[in-house]
Amino acid sequence: MKGNGAEGAGPPAESSCPPPLEWKFSQVFGERIAGEEVQEVDIISAIEFDKSGDHLATGDRGGRVVLFERTDVKNYGSRKDMEKQDHSISRHPEFRYKTEFQSHEPEFDYLKSLEIEEKINKIKWCQTANHALFLLSTNDKTIKYWKVEEKKVKKISEMNVDAFQAVGNGSISSSSMTSPIGYLPNGGCSERPYGHFSYDLSFPPGGFPSLRLPVVTSQETSLIARCRRIYSHAHDYHINSISNNSDGETFISADDLRINLWNLEISNQSFNIVDVKPANMEDLTEVITSAEFHPTHCNMLAYSSSKGSIRLIDLRQSALCDNHSKMFEEREAPGSRSFFTEIIASISDIKFARDGRHILSRDYMTLKLWDINMDSSPVAIFQVHEYLRPKLCDLYENDSIFDKFDCCLSGDGMHVATGSYSNLFRVFGCIPGCNEATTLEASKNPLRRQVQIPSRPARSLNSFRQGAESPGIDMNGNSYDFTTKLLHLAWHPSENSVACAAMNSLYMYYA
């Protein structure tokens, strides 16, 4: 695969083959101790870096969003100051917990007798403004637009009251309980009980002190998350994707049959731009599985289907974009069809490369890298867990074959990554002729495995396969654990750092 010369345009030519990345464990948040039972609501269901890479957000099945902020940049003053430091010192992104908030609550649709889970399906960062963070989060039915900002906590630091007086319910009483003071309308006072006022207008000895008020100061700051918009009642089916547009004003949301276009400032109206619902539902042959806007062209977006195809659409062509401008689909090899062919061909996630020229897709068995200028076949195919092919029947029986794995690309377009079972994730190099394929286990155990796996020869000049393991061989040398799966991960936008979720734990790796 060759780049187009633009900034972050992709890997260099085949002649230069850099050494493979050496991955190291960086951090872990929320790792469970041995024997600890993980609650269902604590399992992470979404991960997303913001565009700067200085903030990371995770969502869980309990409807909570947790934010992390980068700390190593602050330690060096700024990113430029950090770059000026001695490069011989190994540095990598370090994060700390920032705040969390409850984004969604469980609901019940009485019209359809349907329970709506609070689980966060996707999180997307929006443009920052005035030092405040903005992000979108969605469950199956409702999208919310959040603003997270620091608010100064105001406290009363000084009550200007005489030391010999006590404060009670806003009134000031005398320290002597035997002679209560009566306040007169003209400002005078009497030492007689209330109700027996004296008309003596003389001032008390020493006169009245000047009027004093409490002093309010702002000493501390607190992070406040406020929901600014709620976008609801626009999807009949479960929302599987949301994606921000490069114009900073609009975003899309996709369910199984429709894609809607929203304006961030308008929550009660959306435009249906893709509708694949047939007149007769019995004629339904495929559904939408993922959708994403082009990173730089605000008029282009792509969506994937359960049949393994990716459609590129142009919003300038028509208001309803049922007709795609391009379709990317790998042709089926003759004689290779089986009962599981359509199931494992379903694409669970797509991502545009930063250059906007390439699209990465993840189906059950493979990663595929597509060039939008060449729709005949993918430019690269990466085997994620080919050794599971003989076990497809078992995977179908326990429903694991329907697991939806995320995929991600590095900012420079030279590497791609995705997850697998036994809390493993795989990183592949994208340069033709370079056989980089690394398998890592999400664990802070120093003995975690990092295995270099030989790849198959290139299939053609424009397409190559990497990381195909021998069938039946397990990475850990043990029986494969289908109950532990690494579904969600994200790549830092500018550095070789990966955040991945294993159950309720967030692991960070760097190279």
Is 452 found in the same domain as 325? yes
Cα gap 105→9, rounded to integer Å: 41
Is 149 found in the same domain as 165? no
Q: Which domain holds residue 186?
A: 161-212
For 279, other C-beta atoms within 10 Å of its C-beta total: 6
pLDDT in tens, 420-476: 999 999 999 988 888 889 999 988 765 455 544 433 333 333 344 454 443 344 544
Residue 146 in domain? yes
Query: For the chain, what is the domain count?
Result: 2
Q: What percent of the chain has pLDDT over 70?
A: 76
Q: Report whether 85 contacts 72 (CB < 8 A).
A: no
Residue 39 in domain? yes
Q: Report whether 467 contacts 461 (CB < 8 A).
A: no
Is 168 found in the same domain as 85? no
Is 195 found in the same domain as 320? no
DSSP 117-180: -----EEEE---BTTBEEEEEE-SS-EEEEEEEEEEEEEEEE----TT-EEETTEEE-S-TTSP
Is 505 found in the same domain as 425? yes
Angle at 488 between CA 28 and CA 398, to 5 degrees: 115
Among 272, 315, 296, smallest CA distance to 358 is for 296
Among 49, 26, 58, 46, smallest CA distance to 508 is for 26
DSSP 263-276: ETTEEEEEEEEEE-
pLDDT in tens, 184-236: 444 444 444 444 445 555 556 666 566 567 777 777 788 899 999 999 999 99
Cα gap 278→252, rounded to integer Å: 21
pLDDT in tens, 67-81: 999 998 755 444 555
pLDDT in tens, 137-155: 999 999 999 999 988 877 7
80 CB burial (10 A radius; 0-12, 13-18, 19+): exposed
Print pLDDT tens along the chain (511 aa). 443 333 344 444 444 677 889 999 999 998 877 777 889 999 999 999 999 999 999 999 999 999 999 998 755 444 555 545 444 445 788 999 999 999 999 998 888 888 999 999 999 999 988 889 999 999 999 999 999 998 887 777 666 655 445 444 444 443 334 444 444 444 444 444 444 445 555 556 666 566 567 777 777 788 899 999 999 999 999 999 999 999 999 999 999 999 999 999 999 999 999 999 999 999 999 999 999 999 999 999 999 999 999 999 999 988 788 888 899 998 877 777 788 999 999 999 999 999 999 999 999 999 999 999 998 899 999 999 999 999 999 999 999 999 999 999 999 999 999 999 999 999 999 888 888 899 999 887 654 555 444 333 333 333 444 544 433 445 444 447 888 999 999 999 999 999 999 999 999 999 9
Residue 431 in domain? yes
Tracing tokens 């003759």 back to the chain, one arrives at 334
Average pLDDT, the chain: 81
Is 317 found in the same domain as 207? no
Cα gap 101→225, rounded to integer Å: 7
User: What backbone phi and psi angles, to 5 degrees, belong to 443?
Assistant: -165, 145
Q: How many helices (H) and strands (E) does the chain have?
A: 4, 36
For 243, other C-beta atoms within 10 Å of its C-beta total: 24
CA atoms within 13 Å, Cβ hemisphere of 128? 12
Is 459 found in the same domain as 402? yes
Is 275 found in the same domain as 181? no
Pairing of strands 380-383, 464-466: parallel
Q: Report whether 136 contacts 251 (CB < 8 A).
A: yes
Last residue of one domain, picked from the residues 145, 178, 212:
212
Is 207 found in the same domain as 101? no
